[in-house]
Amino acid sequence: MSHGPIAQTLVVCVGLPLKEVAALAASVAHGTLVMAASDVETARTVLAGPVGQPMPAVSSAATGTDASAAPATAITARGSVAAVEPEPIRVGRLTIDPPVREVLAGDQLLRMSAREFDLLTLLASDLHRVWPFGALVKALWHTDYLGDHEQLASTVKRLRKRLGPNAGCEVHSVHGVGYRLQAVDAAVA
């Protein structure tokens, strides 16, 4: 059975509140699909075609992203809503499953606090990005960054300890800027 194209135009909203996405969906032309995603990685996962196909470029329409693993939501111009569960994120030996809030290192379940999980998920959502202190504080504590990042540094320290040497990835400090997650060689001494 052959189905025609769902939409002629696709609009991807990253990090926008659903109320704003719904208002946008109501204002676009018929045949336009409007998709909302909590972060760029979720949008890329949803938009990825079959294996081997190039991934479409996705840029953020908003500066603040929430570390919570809300599933992406597609809202059509007619207002119908369909939830799309994000795929697990794989970094090094880690598998991060946002909908069930679990992290596996190989086949071992890593126990971590909600804040540690949110930090790890946020860092893993865009591996090539250095996350500034202010963006991390805003995403994790929903407050403005006032120059003191001790609370964030403490959370990073606990996350590093939980990941340990067998995770295949590390949280790196970028002096004076923030943090990023980086995969490391699989060889562990």
Domains of the chain listed by start with CATH number: 9-84 (no CATH), 89-183 (1.10.10.10)
Q: Coil, strand, or helix at residue 176? A: coil
> What pLDDT does 157 receive?
97
Contact 92, 167 (CB under 8 A): yes
> What pLDDT does 68 receive?
40
> What pLDDT does 147 receive?
81
Kindly report whether the global pTM for this prediction surpasses the value 0.95.
no
Cα separation, 59 vs 187, whole angstroms: 34
> What pLDDT does 144 receive?
86
For 69-116, how does the pLDDT look when each residue is reduced to its tens digit (9 = 90+)?
Answer: 444 555 544 455 555 567 899 999 999 999 899 999 998 999 999 999
Range name among 57-61, 100-104, 125-129 with the lowest pLDDT average: 57-61
The DSSP result for 91-124, as a single string, is ETTEEEETTTTEEEETTEEEP--HHHHHHHHHHH
> What pLDDT does 119 receive?
96
Q: What is the mean pLDDT of the chain?
A: 76
